[in-house]
Amino acid sequence: MDTFALVVTIAVALFFTYTNGFHDSANAIATSVSTRALTPRAALAMAAVMNLAGAFLGSGVAKTVSEGLIATPTGDQGMMILFAGLVGAITWNMVTWYYGLPSSSSHALFGGLVGAALAGASTVHWDGVLEKVVIPMILSPIVGLVLGYLVMVVILWIFRNANPHKAKRGFRIAQTVSAAGMALGHGLQDAQKTMGVVVMALVIGGVEDEGDAIPVWVKISCAAMLSLGTYAGGWRIMRTLGRRIIELDPPQGFAAETTAAGVMYTASFMFQAPISTTHVITSAIMGVGATKRVSAVRWGVAKNIVLGWFITMPAAAGVAALSYWIVNLAFG
């Protein structure tokens, strides 16, 4: 029964990674597709490959997820907590995908883990939640917005005398590089989050010891599922990011992607902070769009997106807590 519970929990974790891939594929490629720098299928294939590569670039974010947010629970109850946390995250991913809302898969996962831990009377490291989740959740969109605006201002100044048609053609080519960088950062961030959960399940199951290096098969499995999910595509959310916030041109798309990728690499390598790729790219798009004129950004759409960000963690936590009580009632 213990082995079965471990296998089921790992399978659910990998399915969460798959939903993360198709939910967040828009993050990496929506701007490139909307500016016609890349065709949708070419963009998805590129993003899938770069996600796979990004997953092997580090392990700091995975360590934060596996050790920094909740105390590793033990026994059957611990496995139920992980299972319920993943169910909460998957449910919220599916709801927001259905409505085309670019919410954060990362914060759905964090909310699910915290909600399930509270329901199971396990310890939550509130200082870790504040330092590694809440503060980055507030700061990263602000940084993305401001940097996106500044990067676009610099581009406009440098190319102020350039031929508009030649400049756009050049930026379409440049966008293939910036989109690849964005996808690499997405793999670096989001594949590691699931690695952290799988490692926690292995520790609970007695297969690994806390603090051990992440097994290679865990890295490969999480990276592969994220890539498969990415290739499946998240067209509903892609439309929201690529068209509904603002109509992007190639220079704007390049500026937004470059800004978002830079923020993700900094958060991963310098702070081991699991930030939301959704928050960063969305806010960067808003900042870039505001350089045209403030009214060019559809702030009504932006308001709904930001509202979704704030309710993601509590909503996923609520579903996870309910899932834990149901599972505990059935198997506890």
Whether 330 maps to a domain, the answer reads: no
Query: Across residues 246-274, what is the average pLDDT?
Result: 85
Instruction: Please tell me the distance from the alpha carbon of residue 74 to that of residue 8, in angstroms, as a whole number.
Output: 16
Return the pLDDT at 26.
Answer: 65
Taking a C-beta distance cutoff of 8 angstroms, is the pair 132, 61 a contact?
no
Eight-class DSSP state of 104: -
295 has a pLDDT exceeding 90: no
The pLDDT value given to residue 14: 95
Q: Identify the band that residue 2 occupies on the pLDDT scale cut at 50, 70 and 90.
A: confident
Q: How many domains does the chain have?
A: 1
Q: What is the pLDDT of residue 238?
A: 64
Average pLDDT, the chain: 85
Report whether pLDDT(273) > 70: yes
Whether this prediction's pTM lies above 0.75 is answered by yes
56 three-state secondary structure:
coil
61: containing domain: 3-319
- Half-sphere exposure of residue 156, counting CA atoms within 13 Å on the CB side? 14
Contact yes or no for 182/27 (Cβ under 8 A): yes
Q: How many CB atoms lie within 10 A of CB 58?
A: 16
- Any domain includes 197: yes
What is the rounded distance in angstroms from the CA atom of residue 120 to the CA atom of residue 111? 14
The dihedral formed by the CA atoms of 138, 140, 141 and 144, expressed in degrees to the nearest 10: 160
According to the model, what pLDDT value does residue 241 have? 60
Q: Is 133 exposed, middle or buried (0-12, 13-18, 19+ CB in 10 A)?
A: buried
At residue 325, does pLDDT exceed 80? yes
| pLDDT value, residue 116 | 95
Q: Which residue has the tokens 């798959």?
A: 18
DSSP 57: S
pLDDT at 65 (0 to 100) = 84
Is there a contact between 186 and 264 (Cβ–Cβ < 8 Å)?
yes
Position 61 confidence tier, pLDDT thresholds 50, 70, 90:
confident
pLDDT score recorded for residue 141: 87
How far is the C-alpha of 28 from the C-alpha of 175, rounded, in Å?
11
Q: Is the pLDDT of residue 235 over 70?
A: no
Lowest mean per-residue pLDDT among 60-74, 119-133, 142-156, 316-330: 60-74
Residue with more model confidence, 8 or 278: 8
CA-closest candidate to residue 112, choices 317, 267, 286, 293: 317
Alpha carbon distance 124, 119 (integer Å) = 11
Q: How far apart are CA 283 and CA 280, in angstroms?
A: 5
Neighbouring CB atoms inside 10 A of 298's CB total 16
pLDDT of 1 over the 60 cut:
no
Report yes or no on 146 lying in a domain.
yes
In this structure, what token pair is assigned to residue 166?
């030649």
Tens digit of pLDDT for each residue in 145-204? 999 999 999 999 999 888 988 988 899 889 889 888 888 888 888 888 889 999 999 999
Which one-letter DSSP state was computed for residue 70?
B
Confidence of residue 40 (pLDDT cuts 50, 70, 90): confident
Q: Give the pLDDT mean for 6-12.
A: 94
Do the domain assignments include residue 325? no
Q: How confident is the model at residue 245 (pLDDT cuts 50, 70, 90)?
A: low
If one compares 241 and 130, the residue with the highest pLDDT of the two is 130
- Give the pair of three-digit tokens for residue 179: 């989109």
**What is the residue type of 314?**
P
Average pLDDT over residues 102-121: 90
Is 327 a domain residue?
Answer: no
Percent of all residues in the chain with a pLDDT value above 70, rounded to a whole number: 92
SS3 300: helix
Q: Would you state the pLDDT for residue 54?
A: 84
Which residue has better confidence, 253 or 298? 253
